């Protein structure tokens, strides 16, 4: 059982550079927001309405159904209209046109006794009609402002159909590429994940939640869902409180702090207690420590699923346990509808507890302005979609999300990329060059294949049809005849350059319920790759995927590899501009890229162990005893193929030494700083390094700052990201990059379950990724 925190502290904020704030996971009182659901003026309206409600109407407000294309097992109900008229439904989802939302809304507002509007939700995850790159790709931009803009466009489009609630952002930390949902989040790091979480919330919710184009955000899945054992979706999680506090909770905290109006409870069990019936996380952490005033929605039937987890033997008990633990609203399972009224009448659930949840739902509806403006403007709907500014943002986002993994010399001894515009004959080979639905990724909202400008189409436009031959060679997941494969190889042999468009297709192999035990290229793609490389032609591999794939052969034999992820509707133009150097790559990995599946879970911010394998020249199989009795595999390296934070540019950068500037640092003073409003934002240490553009092209670099804490009461990661900045450097130019760190950069969840700064040795790196850089150290005194 997790202990109650002894600490009552306020949020600590780490200012990393101008305009960039990160929220820590430190416990806090209510978020520092007075708008949206935190607007105190809403309370009187909520109370007035609450007093007029019958028990049945109250239960109705905490009931939610999917009335469109299901995104989970069906509920077999069709009588929603009748239920709405009786006040038995508070929320609907999976409806996505203004006509439909208005039809249901009219019943709520005109026929139900209290005229309480319905709130309509949908999984608007990386765009609505204008589909942006998948979230893992968006995070790879390391550009929260850009991510915020994408969420704003999504809100503008979704709200035009009456959808005022998105089940996004997914802020689950994911350390295992086998988990298909790694595509939906921001990767493995809590600091970057917190930045992204807050950016999405700001983008969706806008400056005011009651603006007609704002939608409520939902940070999900609370909590630990990404730690599914074996990377198998919906699987059990076991997470220590220390890891929960330092790794999994911070992005949720950041979302709450940014004003996120709702939270979704997860499918997984957490240390034996289902996350959707977990009073420790839902009540103690979320409500008591963080002061969250919004709605906790369940995931799809996750309330009923506590029966399968094994903590209830019937639906009424499932309803009681989830509700008492703090799940306000039941998504799709109907158990609140069926049992909550009786549970309250019989005293098994206190009336006050029901009132609390109803208040949360009503507060959200008032905050969204739904009572004043319940209907979508059907005339605005079509005009809101695919506007030019959104489409152009989709291209920019895609360009910034690409990560250049390898760029070795081509035939003329210069790096193969960017390609030259000198009329070369290009063979574009592979099943994913014109797979339109795949480019959209999973959870593509209302995105349509016809909105996608494919890689093949954009490349044909750029190089001219006469210079391009495109053959699939093989199917994406299987199939493809020997003749087709041979034709692709023959066409490659006649080309000047071969571009391979390979990977895992977005729709079928990424997202929910797409865990994989093998992370190679599906079907016959590997065979195609090897045969084409054997032609001796210069090969560029454009890798489409929703996660890192284990392709050691490709990384050894293919000169240039670009991780394109699943780029959205502007896939083609973004790729062509990038490959031909009109835009340089700036993206960096937000996940450690594995060499083999056996390395998973793999993450840079790991603990050191007592027997670290930190020699760089370990042999396989192990040689002497120094190499044997260390934490390692006998048949694989420990280090990733590419580390977290890694990504190449078309220019090169040199990093100078890390310099630290701080007056005497005392643990007691820094701990006090975590708890004190003013001190928590005051820089206590600055770290700087010179970064030089050593290449011949201008380039942008994402400069990263990591720390390690030694001598602490609880072992800390070998490195932890605490800041990043984007800089632009002309060829030959040097800039001094300075980070100002506040007490939170040195804080940890200690052995007495408190956020503190301890007497500790701090190592700081300013570096291009999580595996390089020159360290500097400083001691924090007692």
In this complex, which beta carbon is closest to ligand NOJ, that of residue 167 or of residue 644? Answer: 167
CB of 138 to ligand NOJ, least distance (A): 17
Site size with ligand NOJ, rule: CB under 6 A? 8
Q: Find the shortest distance in angstroms from Cβ 219 to ligand NOJ.
A: 11
Burial-class residue 694 by CB neighbours within 10 Å (0-12, 13-18, 19+): middle
Distances (CA, A) of 28 to 285, 367, 674, 746: 9, 23, 10, 17
| 399 lies in the binding site for ligand NOJ (CB under 6 A) | no
Binding to ligand NOJ by residue 71, rule CB under 6 A?
yes
CA atoms of 540 and 41, how far apart (whole Å):
59
Q: How many residues does the chain have?
A: 782
User: Which is nearest to 199 in space by CA: 247, 265, 132, 107?
Assistant: 132
CB-wise, 58 or 220, nearer to ligand NOJ?
220
Is residue 128 at the binding interface for ligand NOJ, with CB under 6 A as the rule? no
Show the tokens assigned to 555: 């990384």
Alpha-carbon span 157 to 130, nearest angstrom: 8
Residues 148-187 that bind ligand NOJ (CB under 6 A): 167
Choosing from 299, 434, 451, 769, the residue that interacts with ligand NOJ (CB under 6 A) is 299
**Structural contact between residues 739 and 620, judged by C-beta atoms closer than 8 angstroms:** no
Q: In the complex, what is the shortest distance from the CB of residue 647 to ligand NOJ, in angstroms, rounded to a whole number? A: 28
123 binds ligand NOJ (CB under 6 A): yes
- Token pair, residue 517, equals 């035990």
Instruction: Note whether 72 binds ligand NOJ by CB under 6 A.
Output: yes
Distance CA 529, CA 486 (A): 12
Residue 299 annotated in active site: yes
**In terms of CB distance, is 92 or 198 closer to ligand NOJ?**
92
**Whose Cβ is closer to ligand NOJ: residue 300's or residue 755's?**
300
**Distance from chain centroid for Cα 347:** 41
Is residue 222 a contact point for ligand NOJ (CB under 6 A)? Answer: no
Residues 480 to 519 in contact with ligand NOJ, rule: CB under 6 A: 512
Task: Tell me the closest approach of the beta carbon of residue 256 to ligand NOJ, in angstroms.
Answer: 18
User: At its nearest, how many Å lie between ligand NOJ and the CB of residue 170?
Assistant: 6
Q: Which is nearer to ligand NOJ, 300 or 646 (CB)?
A: 300
C-alpha to C-alpha distances, 605 to 191, 227, 246, 447, nearest whole angstrom: 11, 15, 11, 36
274 vs 768, which CB is nearer to ligand NOJ? 274
CA dist 113 and 103 (Å) reads 17
- Planar angle of CA 118, 120, 122, nearest 5 degrees: 165
Q: Which residues contact 413 (CB under 8 A, 6 or more apart)?
A: none
In the block, residue with structure tokens 């100002």: 740
Could you give the CA distance from residue 59 to residue 62 in angstroms, rounded to a whole number?
6
Cβ atoms of 176 and 519 within 8 Å: the answer is no
Binding of residue 300 to ligand NOJ (CB under 6 A): yes
Structure tokens at 278: 């977990």
Query: Exactly one of 123, 189, 299, 769 is catalytic; which is it?
Result: 299
Distance, CA of 642 to CA of 552 (rounded, Å): 11
For ligand NOJ, the closer CB: 198 or 331: 331
Q: Give the shortest CB-123-to-ligand NOJ separation in angstroms.
A: 5
CB of 297 to ligand NOJ, least distance (A): 9
Active site (catalytic) residues: 299
Footprint on this chain of ligand NOJ (rule: CB under 6 A) = 71-72, 123, 167, 220, 299-300, 512
């Amino acid at each position: 059982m997790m202990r109650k925190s002894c600490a009552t502290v306020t949020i600590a904020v780490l200012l990393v550079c101008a305009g960039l704030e990160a929220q820590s996971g430190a416990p806090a009182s209510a978020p520092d927001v007075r708008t949206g659901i935190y607007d105190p003026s809403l309370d009187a309206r909520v109370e007035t309405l609450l007093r007029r409600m019958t028990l049945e109407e109250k239960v109705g407000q905490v009931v939610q159904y999917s009335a469109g294309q299901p995104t989970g097992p069906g509920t077999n109900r069709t009588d929603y209209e009748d239920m709405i008229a009786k006040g038995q439904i508070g929320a609907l989802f999976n409806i996505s046109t203004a006509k439909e939302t208005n039809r249901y809304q009219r019943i709520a507002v005109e026929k139900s006794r209290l005229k309480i509007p319905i709130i309509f939700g949908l999984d608007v995850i990386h765009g609505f009609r204008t589909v942006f790159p998948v979230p893992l790709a968006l995070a790879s931009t390391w550009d929260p402002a850009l991510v915020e803009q994408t969420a704003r466009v999504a809100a503008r489009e979704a709200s035009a159909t009456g959808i005022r609630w998105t089940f996004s952002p997914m802020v689950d930390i994911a350390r295992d590429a086998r988990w298909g949902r790694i595509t939906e989040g921001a990767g493995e790091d809590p600091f970057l994940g917190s930045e992204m979480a807050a950016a999405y919330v700001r983008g969706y919710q806008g400056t005011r939640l009651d603006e007609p184009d704002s939608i409520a955000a939902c940070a999900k899945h609370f909590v630990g869902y990404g730690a599914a054992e074996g990377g198998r979706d919906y699987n059990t999680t076991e997470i220590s409180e220390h890891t929960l506090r330092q790794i999994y909770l911070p992005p949720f905290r950041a979302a709450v702090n940014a004003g996120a109006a709702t939270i979704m409870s997860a499918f997984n069990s957490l240390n034996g207690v289902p996350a959707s019936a977990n009073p420790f996380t839902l009540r103690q952490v979320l409500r008591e420590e963080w002061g969250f005033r919004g709605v906790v929605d369940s995931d799809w039937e996750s309330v009923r699923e506590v029966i399968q987890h094994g903590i209830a033997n019937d639906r009424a008990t499932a309803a009681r346990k989830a509700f008492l633990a703090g799940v306000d609203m039941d998504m799709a399972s109907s158990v609140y509808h069926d049992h909550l009224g009786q549970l309250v009448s019989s005293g098994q659930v206190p009336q006050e507890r029901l009132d609390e949840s109803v208040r949360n739902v009503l507060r959200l509806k008032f905050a969204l302005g739904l009572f004043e403006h319940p209907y979508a403007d059907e005339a605005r709907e079509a005009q809101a979609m695919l506007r030019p500014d959104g489409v152009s943002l989709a291209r920019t986002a895609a360009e910034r999300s690409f990560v250049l993994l390898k760029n070795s010399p081509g035939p003329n001894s210069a790096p193969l990329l960017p390609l030259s515009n000198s009329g070369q004959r290009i063979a574009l080979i592979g099943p994913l060059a014109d797979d339109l639905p795949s480019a959209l990724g999973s959870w593509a909202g209302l995105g349509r294949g016809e909105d996608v400008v494919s890689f093949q189409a954009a490349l044909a436009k750029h190089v001219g049809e006469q210079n391009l031959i495109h053959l699939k060679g093989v199917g994406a997941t299987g199939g493809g005849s020997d003749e087709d494969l041979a034709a692709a190889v023959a066409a490659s042999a006649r080309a000047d350059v071969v571009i391979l468009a390979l990977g895992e297709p977005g729709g079928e192999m990424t997202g929910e319920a797409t865990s994989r035990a093998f992370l190679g290229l599906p079907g016959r793609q590997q065979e195609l790759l090897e045969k084409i490389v054997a032609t001796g032609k210069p090969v560029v591999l454009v890798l489409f995927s929703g996660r890192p794939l284990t392709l050691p052969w490709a990384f050894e034999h293919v000169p240039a590899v670009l991780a394109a992820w699943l780029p959205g509707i502007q896939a083609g133009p973004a790729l062509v501009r990038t490959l031909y150097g009109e835009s340089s790559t700036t993206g960096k990995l937000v996940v450690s890229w594995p060499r083999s599946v056996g390395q998973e879970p793999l993450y840079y911010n790991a603990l050191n162990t007592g027997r670290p394998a930190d020699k760089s020249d370990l042999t396989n199989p192990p040689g002497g005893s120094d190499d044997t009795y260390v934490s390692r595999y006998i048949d694989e390296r420990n280090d990733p193929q590419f580390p977290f934070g890694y990504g190449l540019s078309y220019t090169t950068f040199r990093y100078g030494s890390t310099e630290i500037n701080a007056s005497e640092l005392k643990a007691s003073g820094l701990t006090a700083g975590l708890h004190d409003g003013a001190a928590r934002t005051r820089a206590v240490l600055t770290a700087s390094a010179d970064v030089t553009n050593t290449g011949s092209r201008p380039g942008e670099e994402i400069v990263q700052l990591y720390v390690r804490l030694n001598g602490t009461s609880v072992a800390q990661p070998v490195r932890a990201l605490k800041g990043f900045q984007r800089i632009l450097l002309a060829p030959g130019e040097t800039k001094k990059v300075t980070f100002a760190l506040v007490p939170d950069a040195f804080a940890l969840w200690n052995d007495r379950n408190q956020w503190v700064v301890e007497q500790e040795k701090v190592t700081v790196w300013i570096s291009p990724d999580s595996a390089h850089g020159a360290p500097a150290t400083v001691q924090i005194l007692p």
